[in-house]
Copies of this chain bind each other. A is one copy, B any other.
Amino acid sequence: MSTGGNDDGNVKKSKKKETKLGMTCKKDVSFGDWYSEVIVHGEMIEYYTVSGCYILMPSAVGVWELLKGFFDGEMRRLKAQPYYFPLFVTESALQKEKDHIDGFAPEVAWVTKSGDSDLEAPIAIRPTSETIMYPYFSKWIRSYRDLPFRCYQWCNVVRWEFSDPTPFIRSREFLWQEGHSAFATREEADEEVLQVLELYRRIYEEFLAVPVIKGRKSEMEKFAGGLYTTSVEAFVPNTGRGIQAATSHCLGQNFADMFGIKFEDDRGSRSNVWQNSWGYSTRSIGVMVMTHGDDKGLVMPPRVAPLQVIVIPVLYYKDADMMAALKEACESTVHTLSQSWIRAEFDDRWKYSHWEMKGVPLRIEIGPRDLANKLVRMVRRDNGVKVDVPVANLVEEVRVLLDGIQENLFRAAKERRDACIRVIHTWDEFIAALNDKRLILAPWCDEEEVEKDVKARTKGEGELGAAKTLCTPFDQPELPDGTLCFASGKPAKTWSFWGRSY
């Protein structure tokens, strides 16, 4: 393997034939514009006429389907069964759990007409499916033998938000996976909350190469109607905002009580089940784009890249026979890689910057000298490094490089994220860190009133909005006796992450 050049005296520099526009915005200069540009030019999203709704392009659907493949396998291990529940929910079911409907009511879309006729009663489109599913749980679950009960589905949900739609990150319709389970005991429910949270960590860290923090949400930020919420939290250094990446809720027995989900134990006495619900959405794709993209476009982590390798012949005007031989070598390369389940395609239109913009992890180029020396040239999307590899080792070297890119993306993202963490102790330090767009780790008294107060006091800080808790991480630094809450001055109970968020 060498890193020497494969240009040749006889080879004319390949000419870029681009019909699409290239990237014009810089990630570090105007992040919002850059994001809008990268998702469109990288062909992840097309903006749509209905505000807050977006067209998911093949690259986005491809990532989503790859994640689904992993997750479906893990669901089988967990013995969770796939269901599909309806899109629609009646007003009375939706309103059964008061805190829950209070949390979702302002964002619910209502169908009131079909054709020219008014419906007898308006029907809601699911913002989430607790109130759709749980009336049936009460029918299906009778005895301890029906437990644990675990179901999940892939579907679209609608939350008609008015604030600041952002493709993937905050849209009115989005795709997600939602899971719902019921247990005889709190211990089992507690355990599964963390099992699923670990799957979400793996989706982010092992597939999307995005570092996340596992922790528990504050009382203010937990799921409406639930007992407690755990989450994985990502962070976007460019905007200094945290982002709730996926959540796994313990619902306790509250919904069971409202919906009458009871089981008879082996001695014949009836109790409410313990329930969880958990989900992750296409938001994950947006976090991936924000984390890895650069000024040339998207950078796709290999494990979720619908296209992992693009193979391009070096353009060789002088000799049609040689050009044909190069194309043949490229097609044979694609064939060999595809046989080994590596997702590869052949491009004979020399769209170099197009593939860079789409974030394809590895480009293989084959020129006359490569052909003569039985080599191919590989170019990494993440760092631009070029290596020449013997054709004999093709599959093995591609695998090594793809793994290396995957690891490198995660490592680099983690370094950037970690560099943003700032530990503070006082209000002044807190405000300074907030204005510095840090991910703030602060000792906190863990009181709801204090979080409300922090929110109110930071509303006016800069143009970026109020601060809130992101999570109380499971991985707690030592909290020496006598440590005080940065905001209230009372004794601190935890270290918690604070910041602005999406």
Asked whether A107 and B115 contact (CB < 8 A) given A58-B83, A86-B50, A155-B156, the answer is: yes
A114 touches B156 (CB 8 A): no
Chain B residue numbers with a CB within 8 Å of A19 are 142
Chain A 126-153 against B: per-residue CB contact (8 Å), 1 yes, 0 no?
A: 0000000001100100100000000101
Number of copies: 2
A84 touches B107 (CB 8 A): no
Asked whether A88 and B173 contact (CB < 8 A) given A113-B109, A156-B155, the answer is: yes
Q: A55 is contacted by which of B110, B123, B136, B172 (Cβ under 8 Å)?
A: B136
B114 touches A111 (CB 8 A): no
Interfacial residues of chain A within 63-112, with CB under 8 A of chain B in the complex:
64-65, 81-90, 93, 105-112
Q: How far is the CA of A107 from the CA of B115 in the complex (A)?
A: 5
Q: How far is the CA of A135 from the CA of B50 in the complex (A)?
A: 13
Asked whether A88 and B53 contact (CB < 8 A) given A107-B114, A114-B160, A160-B115, the answer is: yes
Q: A115 is contacted by which of B55, B56, B108, B125 (Cβ under 8 Å)?
A: B108
Q: A49 is contacted by which of B108, B135, B160 (Cβ under 8 Å)?
A: B135
> Can you list 15 A-B pairs with a CB-CB distance of less than 8 A?
A19-B142, A46-B139, A48-B86, A53-B88, A55-B84, A55-B85, A55-B86, A56-B85, A58-B82, A61-B83, A106-B116, A110-B113, A111-B111, A111-B125, A112-B112
Task: Please tell me if A158 contacts chain B, counting CB pairs below 8 Å.
Answer: yes
A400: min CB distance to chain B, Å: 26
Task: Please tell me if A175 contacts chain B, counting CB pairs below 8 Å.
Answer: yes
Residues of A at under 8 Å CB distance from B? 19, 46, 48-50, 53-58, 60-62, 64-65, 81-90, 93, 105-116, 122-123, 125, 135-136, 139, 142, 151, 153, 155-156, 158, 160, 172-173, 175
Chain B residue numbers with a CB within 8 Å of A125 are 111, 125
Chain B residue numbers with a CB within 8 Å of A83 are 55-58, 61
